[in-house]
Amino acid sequence: MVIEKYEGLVGAIAYQFSRKFQMVESADIRQELWLWFLTHPKKLKTWEDLDGKETTKLISRSLRNAAKDFCQKEKARIVGYHVSDNYYYDRQILEILLPAVFTGSNVAPSMVDLGFTATRKVASEGGNWFAMMSDIDKALTKLPEEQWNILYSRFRQGQDNSGVASELQISDDAARMRVNRALNSLLNLLGGSRPRRERDYKNDESTDNIREDIERPIESSDEDRLEELD
């Protein structure tokens, strides 16, 4: 299996990610990408039996994922934080864990309840749901009292929005809005919602351009190749 033909793609991706993560050397990223080829021989062989465009697309995507993962870990190591700190909470997680947080339960929700499949781990620090509950508990203490009471009524006492409305003597719509506002405030205290698009790298490069780059003799610099890809 000849992997040298991917030199152009490896160089372009390494250069691009070294620009996005300036604390990481392009040579180190290159090394990590070549390591990907050596550690995924079966996958590479299977993909190379496919149509040329599809092969290029799959390999390019995997190399970009490998580069992104490596750069994020290197950035975390250099700056002094843990990659798991990038975890973003969402409304579903909050609504599942809040009852346990308010009651102090030490029974872990099932992975299915948390929205994960059996093969996908919770992405919180240490992969530990208990750490997530601790994060939420700390964030709750920073909420205004009114919003804390709203969430307590909704998730500790098990009331639906109609029950909250009856307790506060407001309309159902008003209760729903207050619950949503309190959940959004809590979400913001936990770091905000997951970004709609990952901005560390682009996903919309033309597959045709990438394939042309792979097949072209290595004559230009990495920067020239990257500009051609863009």
Q: What is the average per-residue pLDDT within 190-207?
A: 48
Instruction: Name the percent of the chain lying above pLDDT 70.
Output: 68
7's CB contacts (< 8 A; 6+ apart) are 218
12 vs 207 pLDDT, higher one: 12
Domains along the chain with CATH numbers: 4-84+217-229 (no CATH), 89-189 (1.10.10.10)
Q: What is the average per-residue pLDDT within 184-213?
A: 55
With bands split at pLDDT 50, 70 and 90, how would you rate the model's confidence at 164?
Answer: confident
What per-residue confidence (pLDDT) applies to 59? 92
Q: What is the average per-residue pLDDT within 201-230?
A: 42
Q: Write out the two tokens for 10.
A: 């490896």
DSSP string, 162-214: HHHHHHHT--HHHHHHHHHHHHHHHHHHTT-SPPSS--SS-S---HHHHHHHH
**Model confidence at 154: pLDDT above 60:** yes
What per-residue confidence (pLDDT) applies to 108? 61
| pLDDT tens digits, 14-60 | 999 999 888 899 999 999 999 999 998 888 888 888 877 888 889 99
What per-residue confidence (pLDDT) applies to 193? 57
What per-residue confidence (pLDDT) applies to 81? 61
| pLDDT tens digits, 96-135 | 889 888 888 766 665 555 555 444 444 433 346 777 888 8
C-alpha 203/C-alpha 213 separation (Å) is: 17
What per-residue confidence (pLDDT) applies to 53? 84
10 vs 222 pLDDT, higher one: 10
Q: What is the average per-residue pLDDT within 168-183?
A: 92
What per-residue confidence (pLDDT) applies to 146? 92
C-alpha 111/C-alpha 129 separation (Å) is: 9
What per-residue confidence (pLDDT) applies to 86? 57
229 vs 141 pLDDT, higher one: 141
Average pLDDT of the residues of the chain = 75
Q: Are the beta carbons of 87 and 123 closer than 8 angstroms?
A: yes
What per-residue confidence (pLDDT) applies to 143? 92
What per-residue confidence (pLDDT) applies to 149? 92
**Which residue matches tokens 């208990």?**
130
**Model confidence at 227: pLDDT above 50:** no
